Structure 1
Amino acid sequence: MEESGIATVVIASGVFSDRLRAMHLPRIVLTDFPMGRPLGAPNDHETQREVLLAALDMIDHTKQGGSIHIFNRDYCPWNL
């Protein structure tokens, strides 16, 4: 997709960091959230929005392949 001019970004839990780095992906946002919830807890709309905005920001500002952004935010498991 990148070769066709379509920018991509992967959002994933940090537990997959080693595997994702080995794949040499163009852009990665890593969160410290549990597997299956890389955007945050259900109904935590603020955190989910911030993760998505971080990914979009990478698309806008990252031109070099292999860029990784670590999204530092505590996971809030409570149903907000």
Structure 2
Amino acid sequence: MHGSRQCVRPGCGALAEATLTYHYASRTAWLDDLEGDPDPSVYELCTQHADRTTVPVGWNREDRRVSDAPLPHPLPTAQELLDIPLAV
């Protein structure tokens, strides 16, 4: 966690976990992990509000956050992949 940094959305008291930045000329908005010191040029959001962020029509939303969540199904090991019979 990042101390007492809270989500900037009105009425939300959750801790900020992501930042939202945007560039008008390229019509792009970026979601990144919250890092370092507070920056007044970015919006700090909780995970729920970051996940729900939408962009205007014609814009691109790039989610560059690194997820610490476990995968729903573990990836197979190299040996397990070798053991799969080839379908011909």
TM bucket, shorter chain:
under 0.3
Higher relative contact order (CA 8 A, sep 6+): 1
Structure number with larger C-alpha Rg:
2
Question: Under a length normalisation based on structure 2, what TM-score does the superposition of the two structures give?
Answer: 0.25
